[in-house]
Structure 1
Amino acid sequence: MAVLLATSAVLVGPAAALAAPAPAPADAPSAKDLTRYALISNVVLSPDGKHIAALTSGDGAKINITVWKTDALDKPPTIIGSTSMVFKGVSFVKNDRLRVAVMQPLTVRSWKGHVRKTYFTDLEGKSWTTPLTDTAEAKTDEEAIKRARGGNPVFVSALPRDPKNVLMIDQRTGSEGDVNKVNIYTNSVERIDRMAGRYEGFLTDGKGDIRGRIDTGFEDGKAYAVQQIKNPTTGAWEDHFRSYARDRNFTTLEGFSSDPNIAYVSIVKTNGKRGVYVYDITAKQVLEPLFEHKLFDANGVILDNNGELLGVNYDDARGSIYWVDEGIGARFKSARTALGVKMEPLAWTDPDTEVKTRFNVSTDFDISVVDASEDRSVVIIEKSGPKLPPEYYLLDKSGKLTLLGSSRPWIKTAGLGQTRLVQYMARDGLPVPGLLTTPPASFGAGPHPTIILPHGGPWARDHLGWDVSGWVQYFASRGYVVLQPQFRGSQGWGEKLWRAGDKEWGGKMQDDKDDGAKWLIDQKLADPGRIAMFGYSYGGYAALAAAIRPNGLYQCSVSGAGGSLAEMKKATSNSRFLRERQAPSVDGLDAVQNAGDAKIPVFLYHGDRDDNVDIKDSLRFINGLKNAGKPYKWLEIKDMGHGYATMTPEMMETQLVEIDKFFQNECKPGGL
């Protein structure tokens, strides 16, 4: 069998110059449509509700910050641009000041990666300050690399009652862990506490005072994390919850009430689900439940600047909020009706208890509150779904909704696939959730070519929402069925499914993906002779494992930034805490060491600035394929890191186009 030689891709020109795969249906979005920067995203409100800011892009290649006056949306906004910085996030810290997150490629001696920085600016982008910046020359390579990777200060609080200052944790060499008030107008710094880099997980109360933090330690040789809370009467730090790393069941401090003696904590108490509870700080006693869901984790509280409780987040199919505040809850319900959200019951088997039940899930799209003014008179609503790119609306106190903009108005949603939440049974009887996207009706009932698309992590999960990578809808719009299996080892679906992935890399974790493919065949959705696996990060590892295992299900696989089991073991052993918390779960098949056993063509791609999964892992797999005379395709993407935030539109477009070409031309005789 001939070896498919590959070359590295250097992105020096527009991605449109790339050789295109076979023509797609007329209403299918192009790779450029899905990957160019959104017309509008990251929409935020000033505390007084008088201004709106967002990331915007007119040409899809450059991101600006745009600022509107809320009462003059018909007037030209202020546009803040940059020739040297790539804006990645924006938020208000004061009514007239923005916090801007940027990211840029950086090479520091032997290290290649990306650096994150925080800036503050006025609403016209004329005055910029960079807080807590380390300007001293690094003395060693190790110090220079450490500074580049983690030197950005940690933002803790906007201090809503302080007109000039914000709260930040210093990360500079020699002052790591210092808590500072930073004047965002003058850049002056006032240190208010020294924590020597020992603590993390800082949480403030409504006044902006740090009252929660996490410390770590060892007891009888066992690593633990302890939640510390500042006593409301004495001001002394006290230990409250000690959680051992090996148990992986942490009590988390979620927020402080307006009552200084009351906090909110989340705990896994029953049925493998995390709930939020009221906690008496002085008595050190968990009181009544604030919110529990029988099927999903509750994972945070929403408080106003006075500590009044507004709602509780819970992690259902999409990610939702249970509104405690009746006023905003009623307005949210009305907005849902006005924007056409439809719900339907879904039959469900709880993976923890195996109890059969039902819950409501949105059919096409849903809405969420993404920001609100301090008095909640003005709210920003996002409307989005798996086949609806985000749209942003202004909701005023009268209930009037005003469309601010659509993120991708150029996409014809009629040409996209339909996504729904499903479950199938693994071979050992464990219910496995999945997100199933089927092609538009114009492709017929099936069976169709199919892609099994496992998420990264693996301690992560997928949600029922718009896919910012473009992977799902690009292929669904071209006639593919796409299944995103929530295999064992995935978080957010209960403790049993999560812990069932321990030491099952390439084993039962992989069985779950294969069983998803078999289920699709049984459902007459997947053509058994046209199935591939594609994944990124851990999903990339899974794609390599799929090429090695003798399952006969896949015609080819695509691995983006796929790592080796040996390197994952090494990474989780670098700290005592991770050695006890995660390393024991990492064991099984090392795909890199068994590359020569690959039974199908493999396409590997990797960014040369990936400082999370070393590109050497992909190169080692390729060497194994070369030595065994096995077919492969290789793509090295210049200046790309690991996460989505490091990827330009050209990099994302390249991935889609090259994967599509591989599926059509090299996956099997005649294409996938």
Structure 2
Amino acid sequence: MKHASLAVLTALTLFASTRADAQAPSQMDFAKHSEVNDVSLSPDGKYVAMAIPSADGMETQLHIVPLDGKGKVQALRFGRQQHVGNIVWSDNDQVVVARGKMEPLQARPYSTGELMSSDVNGKTQETLFAYLVGDDGMRARHKDRGFASVVKVLDNEPGKVLVDFTAWPDDVGDEKRTTSIYKVDTRTGNRQEIEQTRDTATFMFDHSGRARLKVISNDNDDPVLMYRPDAGSKDWQPVPKSLAGYSMSLLYVEPDDNTAYATITDKGEPTQLYKIDLAKATRVRLAGRDEESIARVLYSGHDGAPFAVIYDEAKPSVQYLDPASEWAKLHAGLLKAFPGQMVSFVDWTRDDGMALFYAWGDRNPGAYYLLDRKANNKIQLVNESMPWMKAASLSPSHPISFKTRDGLNLHGLYTAPAGGGARPMIVMPHGGPHGPYDSWGYDSDAQFLASRGYGVLQINYRGSGGRGKDFIESGYGEWGGKMQDDLADGVKWAIDNKIADPNRICTYGASYGGYASLMQQIRYPELYKCAIGYVGVYDLQVMKKEGDIKDSASGRRYLNRVLGTDDAKLKAWSPAQNVDKIKVPVFLVQGSIDQRVPMEQFNALKNAFKAAGVPIETMVAQGEGHGFYKPENRAELYKRMEAFLAKYIGPGAK
């Protein structure tokens, strides 16, 4: 494809920041939130809707921008200090958003289960789902006690969508939550229930909007798959092994309401993409790898089947199902037009004449663009997520691979300024730990540390996501065992490959990453000079008693699965109960109202050091949760980290 010179939309320039020559970013540059959190293109291509946060991040408004540059930009608020996201167009002039709040660790808004709608002029707004108390504090104006989300737009019924509504339990500890599917008129708020189950379920739909796949969980928290073989079926049947042995996600069903595309696993292998015949219960494999799951799927326009899959657990790559298709050629052309970046399609107009896409990379936090296929593939910039960040001032992230002591092939990332050589290095384990994983792309923590001259090592140890259920479960019961061995093996690999100075290595991580940062000092004290624990778990016995995970039966089952029930092992693998083995300087960081990893964890380790007469550095941010959200607190954390690391592994450190 031909790549036209970028032309910034006049109507959108009010969101752009003033550009300056590239220079080393400040702590606040890394701490600030994105200028835009979500962008969506209207079906007729006349508008883009954008979730725009305030400068302090305490509110997110909905901005609707006419693309002809003639109309007025509508800035819509849905309540004081409220956030909007998950933007969905139900018709050319009608938009639905989820009202939400910020999820602190990721610094992104997430839905609270309330849905609002508006026309493009903001004159008619509807509360579709919410639980709101009236002015007298007694009378509820909306009584939707549960969580609602849009799961399908009905193109054949403009303005109408399908909404999944999962009710809150009546009793504390009750895990049975009724799930209902409603057809909702987003203009009037009128709704019609079309499905309901007493179990908490995920429904997936055919092209016409009929529920064809239902997934619930059994008492062991494994998926139970039920389906309707044909469009006229009313009863649910178990999904046969000829379709899926363990898990299945219905991605797209063709207009015949029978030919479908799904990601499937039969046992514990990474997810694979299949084309299936629902009526015959047969399938044909289209894409997949033996050691890496499919991360994302790209679709053929507004209403088309998958044309490509993206893998990102190792080196990011695209697999086109048919490289000769117009969609594969279009996407490949965009990759050439944006070298060194990945491109994801976000939205298409109904006639596929225009596309909204997102270009991003290790040194690019991301930018939204419009592609006009009717105007010689003209590309226009909509908005950059962080326009103050310059690629020249950031560092490349290189995918790495190495073998562990027991022969397991692991992947990860190494981020460092250009120039090579053995550098002082920060080992940065990801949180989770089971399911999340580090993938190539912009990472504010890694980039901040690299901007200060450090190499940053991120390792997808066993237990991480991206490689299937078996790989995740290989970390069960290994929090302080093989998962720690994997991190240490990665450090030794970095030393052997002369990218890490063996005398200048520290650890830093959040949540489980905070736990691993301290546990590495106990298991492998010879490797490190200091440790930073951020909202970390430090006592596994306390974890079973405090925090929001243990509040549900499924959460308690999860803790028993991943930690085990051997008290002696839990004690041996708890940094707070083994401070005598930690011989390096420690910096502990905590949010005062963290519900996932509450203050009891921070206090357990801090008090253990105090009892042992060992001074440590601490930082407690009032009003912050599981990771800091306020830019000023994030900037202060970076400032404190910079000074701490410079003292122990910086240029002047002994």
TM-score bin (small chain): 0.7 to 0.9
Aligned to 2:118: 121
Distance 2:189 2:584 in 1: 58
Partner of 2:611: 627
What is the CA distance between 1:433 and its match in structure 2?
0.9
Corresponding residue of 1:435:
413
Deviations 1:246-292 (A, max 9, x none): x9953444443333233333333599432122333233x33211223
Task: Single out whichever of 313-322 and 92-101 deviates more from structure 2.
Answer: 313-322
1:478, distance to aligned residue in structure 2 (A):
1.0
Tell me which of 387, 390, 399 is aligned to 2:366: 390
Deviation of the 1:223 alpha carbon: 6.1
| Partners of 2:529 and 2:111 in 1: CA distance | 35
1:407 maps onto 2:385 in alignment: yes
% of aligned pairs identical? 28
Deviation at 1:510, TM superposition (A): 0.8
Q: Deviations over 1:149-169 (max 9, x none)?
A: x83323322323222332223
Match of 1:29 among 17, 25, 31: 25
Structure-1 separation of matches of 2:624 and 2:112: 12
> Paired residue for 2:13?
none
Distance in 2 (alpha carbons) for counterparts of 1:641 and 1:120? 30
Q: Give matches, 1:237-386, under 5 Å.
A: 237-241=235-239, 249-268=246-265, 272-283=269-280, 285-298=281-294, 308-316=304-312, 317-318=315-316, 320=318, 322=320, 326-339=325-338, 341=339, 364-386=340-362
**Please, which moves more after superposition, 411-420 or 114-123?**
114-123
Conserved? CA contact 1:241–1:251, under 8 Å: no
Measured at CA, do residues 463 and 412 of structure 1 come closer, stay the same or move farther in structure 2, by a change above 3 Å? same
Q: Structure 2 vs 1, CA of residues 95 and 640 (structure 1 numbering), >3 Å: closer, same or farther?
A: farther
1:455 maps to which of 430, 434, 458: 430
Conserved? CA contact 1:118–1:152, under 8 Å: no
Alignment check: 8 A CA contact 2:288 2:294 kept: yes
On the 8 A contact 2:37/2:53 being kept in 1, the answer is no
Cα pair distance change 1:264/1:574, threshold 3 Å? farther
Partner of 1:7: none
Counterpart of 1:204 in structure 2 is: 205
Instruction: Report what 1:77 is aligned to.
Output: 73
2: CA distance between counterparts of 1:598 and 1:200?
46
Query: Gaps (5+ residues) in structure 2?
Result: 1-20, 104-109, 135-139, 171-176
Query: Aligned with 1:298: secondary structure?
Result: coil
The 8 Å contact of residues 60 and 81 in structure 2, kept in 1 or not, is answered as no
Deviation at 1:605, TM superposition (A): 1.8
Deviations 1:190-245 (A, max 9, x none): 3333323x132221222223222113346xxx6653211134254223233389xx
The one-letter amino acid paired with 1:211 is R
Q: Within 2, Cα distance between the matches of 1:299 and 1:448? A: 32
Q: Does the CA-based 8 Å contact 1:206-1:307 persist in structure 2? A: no
CA RMSD of aligned residues (A): 3.6
One-letter amino acid of the counterpart of residue 532, structure 2: V
How many equivalent residue pairs?
A: 594
| Structure 2: distance between partners of 1:376 and 1:330 | 15
Which residue pairs with 1:616 in the alignment?
600
Cα deviation for residue 454 of structure 1 reads 0.9
Tell me the equivalent position of 2:153.
Answer: 158
Q: Does 1:193 align with 2:195?
A: yes
Q: Which moved more, 1:203-212 or 1:58-67?
A: 58-67
1:126 CA displacement:
4.4
**1:464 CA drift (Å):** 0.9
| Aligned pair partner of 2:583 in 585, 599, 602 | 599
How far, CA to CA, are the matches of 2:24 and 2:215 in structure 1?
A: 49
Inter-CA distance 223–365: structure 2 relative to 1 (3 Å threshold): closer
3-state SS in 2 of match to 1:592: helix
Task: Select the residue among 618, 621, 646 that pairs with 1:664.
Answer: 646
Task: Tell me the amino acid that sits aligned with residue 82 of structure 2.
Answer: M
Q: Contact 2:423/2:501 (CA < 8 Å) preserved in 1? A: yes
1:480–1:76 distance in 2 versus 1, CA, 3 Å? farther
Check whether the contact 1:436–1:481 (CA below 8 A) recurs between aligned residues.
Answer: yes
1-structure distance, mates of 2:167, 2:465:
34
Secondary structure of the corresponding residue to residue 489 of structure 2? helix
Offset at 1:484? Answer: 0.7
Alpha-carbon offset, residue 574 of structure 1 = 6.5
State whether residues 214 and 227 of structure 1, in contact with CA within 8 Å, keep that contact through their aligned partners in structure 2.
Answer: yes
Q: 1:58: Cα distance to partner?
A: 7.8
Structure 2-normalised TM-score? Answer: 0.81
Q: In structure 2, give the amino acid aligned to 1:547.
A: Q
Q: 1:609 to 1:152 in 2, by over 3 A?
A: farther
Whole-Å separation in 2 of the counterparts to 1:335 and 1:668: 41
Kindly tell me: are residues 278 and 90 of structure 1, through their superposed partners in 2, closer, same or farther at Cα, counting changes over 3 Å?
Answer: closer
State how far apart, in whole Å, the 2-side matches of 1:80 and 1:291 are.
42
Residue of structure 2 equivalent to 1:654: 636
> Is 1:584 paired with 2:561?
yes
> Structure 1 residue 618: deviation in Å?
1.8
Question: C-alpha displacement at 1:515, in angstroms?
Answer: 1.8
**2: distance between equivalents of 1:215 and 1:202?**
9
Matches within 5 A, 1:168-247: 168-172=163-167, 176-196=178-198, 198-217=199-218, 224-241=222-239
Given the superposition, is the C-alpha separation of residues 306 and 582 from structure 1 closer, same or farther in structure 2, using an over 3 Å criterion?
A: farther
What is the identity, as a one-letter code, of the residue corresponding to 2:284?
A: E
In structure 1, distance between residues paired with 2:27 and 2:346:
28
Alpha carbons 1:99, 1:121 under 8 Å: kept: yes
Letter in 1 for 2:328: G
Shift of 1:573: 7.1
Alpha-carbon displacement from aligned partner over 1:47-76 (angstroms, at most 9, x marks no partner): 222211223458575644332223x25876
SS at match of 1:152: strand
Give, as a single letter, the amino acid of the residue that structure 2 aligns with 1:162: E
Q: Which residue of 1 aligns with 2:532?
A: 558
Which 10-residue stretch deviates more, 475-484 or 587-596? Answer: 587-596
Instruction: Name the aligned partner's letter for residue 236 of structure 1.
Output: K
C-alpha displacement of 1:480:
0.4
Check the 8 A contact 1:179/1:195 in 2, yes or no.
Answer: no
Letter in 1 for 2:588: L
Higher deviation after alignment, 96-105 or 608-617: 96-105
For residue 197 of structure 2, give the secondary structure of its aligned residue in structure 1: coil
Structure 1 window deviating more from structure 2 (470-479 vs 262-271): it is: 262-271
Q: For the residues of structure 1 that align with 2:410 and 2:467, how far apart are their CA atoms? A: 9
Verify the 8 A CA contact 1:452 1:482 in the aligned structure 2.
yes
Q: Which amino acid aligns with 1:257?
A: E
Rounded to whole Å, the distance in 2 between the matches of 1:301 and 1:526 is 36
Tell me the equivalent position of 1:522: 496
Structure 2 match to 1:536: 510
User: Helix, strand or coil: the match of 1:650?
Assistant: helix
Quick one: structure 1 residues 371 and 482, their matched pair in 2 at CA, closer, same or farther if it must change by over 3 Å? same
TM-score by length of 1: 0.79
Please state whether the residue corresponding to 1:178 is helix, strand or coil.
strand
Mapped partners of 1:636, 1:93: distance in 2: 44
**Larger deviation: 445-454 or 256-265?**
256-265
**Is 315-324 or 649-658 further displaced after alignment?**
315-324
What's the offset of the Cα at 1:80?
3.4
Amino acid of the structure 1 residue aligned with 2:257: P
Please state how far the C-alpha of 1:576 moved relative to its aligned partner: 6.3
Q: Which position in structure 2 is the counterpart of 1:490?
A: 464
Which gives a bigger RCO, structure 1 or 2 (Cα 8 Å, sep 6+)? Answer: 1
Deviation (angstroms), 1:520: 1.9
CA gap 1:523/1:457 in 2 versus in 1, 3 angstroms: same
Contact 1:452 1:484 in 2 (8 A): yes
Q: Counterpart of 1:90?
A: 87
CA contact (8 A) 2:261 2:306 kept: no
Structure 1 residue aligned with 2:440 = 464
